A and B are shown apart, each in its own frame.
Chain A
Amino acid sequence: MPTTVPDLSDVTRSEASLRRFLHGLPGVDQVGADARAASLGTRSIKTTAKAHALDLAIRMVDLTTLEGADTAGKVRALASKAKTPDPADPTCPQVAAVCVYPDMVATAKQTLGTSGINVAAVATAFPSGRASLDIKLADTRDAVEAGADEIDMVIDRGAFLSGHYLQVFEEIIAVREACGEAHLKVIFETGELQTYDNVRRASWLAMMAGGHFIKTSTGKVQPAATLPVTMIMLEAVRDYREATGQMVGVKPAGGIRTAKDAIKYLVMVNEVAGPDWLDPDWFRFGASTLLNELLMQRTKMTTGRYSGPDYFTLD
């Protein structure tokens, strides 16, 4: 929108000016935001629209494994699944990316080969972010050198909650630099920021610092992604484009398990941010079990029959 956004370089001149700007953003009424998100969730997406939405959702998946127990074998299996989500149906699209810890990037890269599927690595002392900046930057560089196309960083929630916005801002800039050519996704861990006002402030902070994507959660904290939190972030990227002309992507992650839920998110993208964001370049799902749910629904759409989970590969 016009008028309200001042020259953004001015905003980040000092701790005080940044704080003034972030606290000057319009507030979010929680009851109203929840009601709007719930109302968008009642859209009924059927037949051709559903088929379109399922394929789009599959193309937007960042297929994720972030376990202490991850092994090269597990990551190779996941990468194969990313390339051929449904071996029974060659028309099934590939996912957008595979998301792993930095030490698994090379393995994932090798299996994915020339498929065009990106490798995303979580970095910056994921998931807590509790490490010195040097360690976080080294973590990032390590992942990039191993071939990561995308870096999913976490913000320092402690700094954010204690009001040290400039510190969070500068940290994001430093990580973005360390990313080189890789795209940067900035994770807020909205379950820890708690209020929608905080989510809106964190969104502007990350966008002004140059994040390519803003992302809800690590998946390690409950609640992870929710419809209203994602809506607040979609409003932020929409408003940021109005103010600056630049588009930023959004990635809800964690807790999106059913095809029905994924479609609710797509409806929200469509009606809140607009159809320009209905593209894997601008919207992603951070998920693991979601993919098979999408595949089962997709098979039901194409064959008219609902197959059980045994007919889909685990990874």
Chain B
Amino acid sequence: MSNVFEYAPAPESRSIVDLKPSYGLFVNGEFVDGHGSSFKTISPATEEVLAEVAEASDVDVDAAVKAARRAYNRVWSRMPGSERAKYLYRIARIIQERGRELAVLESLDNGKPIKESRDVDVPVVAAHFFYYAGWADKLEHAGYGTTPLGVAGQVIPWNFPLLMLAWKIAPALACGNTVVLKPAETTPLTALLFAEICQQADLPPGVVNIVTGAGPTGQAIVSHADVDKVAFTGSTAVGKAIARAVAGTQKRVTLELGGKAANIVFDDAPIDQAVEGIVNGIFFNQGHVCCAGSRLLVQESIADELLARLKRRMATLRVGDPLDKNTDVGAINSHRQLERIRELVDVGDAEGAERWSPPCELPERGFWFPPTVFTGVSQAHRIAREEIFGPVLSVLTFRTPSEAVEKANNTPFGLSAGVWTEKGSRILDVAGKLRAGVVWANTFNKFDPTSPFGGYQESGYGREGGRQGLAAYLQGGEA
């Protein structure tokens, strides 16, 4: 008899999500119609239209900032930290209670596998609110004073819609700021569900305002005269534009931008776990991760063996329906991103790198790209230098630890890095020499609210998470 063990479809039910045909903006504690036009948000796995969402105009953004200012002056900045904490704890608990609903909606709108939205995104989101709720009444011990900045304008990307929202909103609120947040135009739905959660938690009106829209809406927030603080996560190009826009103003800025992280595997690495770490580093969330381990640096003496193991492992990855509980790699978030990935992969081919993907059937509708590895890549190749932001790994080799460090640091980015070795002294030595905000040792893509996250150079500035994450939202946080 055949030994084939086919996993039957195991779809998570969509029925828990109550999708409305259209959504307005969340301003001053209420859902309101925008003054602009509207846009459609689709499921990237099927191209099905999920809902129509209002596009916030300058007038809408102004109303949101005004609401935030009012809430800041009258309520939130005056409220004792212990009282603010109660709201944050309440929000965290509601996120846990409505976890499945949030996870399903996130997978629908973003295309990420339900096992990730369920086991990573939503639990870490709740943990982030719990963590910063704990800080709200202990700010005097954090070392940045207790005076908030005012109104924070926050613009977040589409790769972790809810998690990036939590990274932005939780510390801002804990410190006594109010916020106007814009989710990405391809993934607005969980932010709007979060707005509902704010209502459910009786959060005072205006403390959190959610305005949906694309680039112009983001620009309106960033350049609004009454915004005290700009926090952005997204591409390096947009980050630079924001830095220019706020230059010369009193606004404080934190930017969390792109990356091209080196994942360094030494010849004494725990090899099977290193393979898992490489897979998790680049195929987690379809590679739509700013800190993705997109450059594998492997010691030449084990390169053949490691690559053979990696390819065998990649062949077991299950690509498909994001709502199937057994899916490992979901859909590319948008047609635009898919084009970007294809373009860079074509460049890789043209540059002479060797491309490999496991045999895998991709669905006909929707946006898909197979897990891909390029070998024979050198530092001069564009696929070794530019952020692809997709499930595409570039493999380079090195001979000595110093060469590994040199190559790892030879990038304008500096967000994260990984080191794989069984030798503890080498971990400490190499980690100290790597120019990256986060260095993972014998693991990759692990996120925890207690750990600060942020970059060097073109990866941005400022830290999110941990005690250091408070600095971005307190007057005393200025270096």
Contact = CB atoms under 8 A, between A and B. Distances in A.
A45 B443 contact: no
Given A32-B273, A44-B10, A44-B326, A4 B5 contact: no
B243 interface: no
B364 interface: no
Contacts of A68: none
Interface string B403-439: 0000000000000000000100000000000000000
A49 B7 contact: yes
B202 interface: no
B308 A1 contact: yes
Interface string A228-265: 00000001000000000000000000000000000000
A67 interface: no
Given A26-B269, A33-B273, A276 B3 contact: yes
Contacts of A56: 5
Contacts of B273: 28-29, 32-33, 36
Contacts of A267: 5
Contacts of A2: 304-305, 308
Contacts of A53: 5
B3 A4 contact: no
Contacts of A43: 7, 325-326
Contacts of A27: 268-270, 422
Interface residues of A, number: 35
Contacts of B271: 26
A32 B276 CA distance: 8
A275 B5 contact: yes
A1 B305 contact: yes
A47 interface: yes
Contact of B270 (A26, A46, A277, A279): A26
A3 B422 CA distance: 20
A264 to B, nearest CB: 13
A45 B10 contact: yes
B354 interface: no
Contacts of B6: 48-49, 52
A44 to B, nearest CB: 4
B115 interface: yes
Interface string B1-19: 0011111111000000000
B316 A271 contact: yes
A269 B178 CA distance: 52
B66 interface: no
B119 A42 contact: yes
Interface in B246-278: 268-273, 276-277
A270 interface: yes
B4 A275 contact: yes
Contacts of B4: 275
Interface string A31-69: 111011000001111111110110010000000000000
B7 A29 contact: no
B442 interface: yes
A49 B3 contact: no
A7 B119 CA distance: 44
Contacts of A36: 272-273, 276
Contacts of A42: 115, 119, 325
Contacts of A35: 276
Give the secondary structure class of A's interface.
helix
Interface string A265-308: 01100110001111100000000000000000000000000000
Contacts of A28: 270, 272-273
Interface string B309-324: 1000000100000000
Nearest to A3: B305
Contacts of A278: 3, 5
A31 B8 CA distance: 30
Contacts of B422: 27, 29
Interface in B283-320: 304-305, 308-309, 316
B319 to A, nearest CB: 15
Contacts of A271: 316
Nearest to A278: B3
A26 B266 CA distance: 11
B270 A47 contact: no
Contact of A45 (B7, B115, B316): B7
A218 B275 CA distance: 32
Contacts of B272: 26, 28, 32-33, 36, 235
A49 B8 contact: yes
Contact of B5 (A3, A29, A46, A49): A49
B5 A52 contact: yes
A276 B7 CA distance: 16
Nearest to A269: B5
B270 A275 contact: no
B270 to A, nearest CB: 4
A1 B7 contact: no
Contacts of A33: 272-273
Task: Tell which of A2, A26, A45, A278 has the most Cβ of chain B within 10 Å.
Answer: A26
Given A2-B305, A29-B442, A32-B270, A270 B5 contact: yes
A2 B9 CA distance: 36
Given A42-B119, A48-B8, A279 B305 contact: no
A36 B369 CA distance: 24
Given A32-B272, A278-B5, 13 more contacts: A1-B305, A4-B305, A26-B268, A28-B273, A29-B442, A32-B277, A36-B273, A43-B325, A45-B8, A46-B9, A266-B5, A275-B4, A276-B3
Interface of A: 1-4, 26-29, 31-33, 35-36, 42-50, 52-53, 56, 235, 266-267, 270-271, 275-279
- The 7 tightest CB contacts between A and B, nearest first, are A32-B273, A44-B10, A29-B270, A44-B325, A26-B271, A49-B8, A29-B273
Interface of B: 3-10, 115, 119, 268-273, 276-277, 304-305, 308-309, 316, 325-326, 422, 442-443
7 contacts: A1-B308, A32-B277, A36-B272, A47-B8, A49-B8, A50-B8, A278-B3
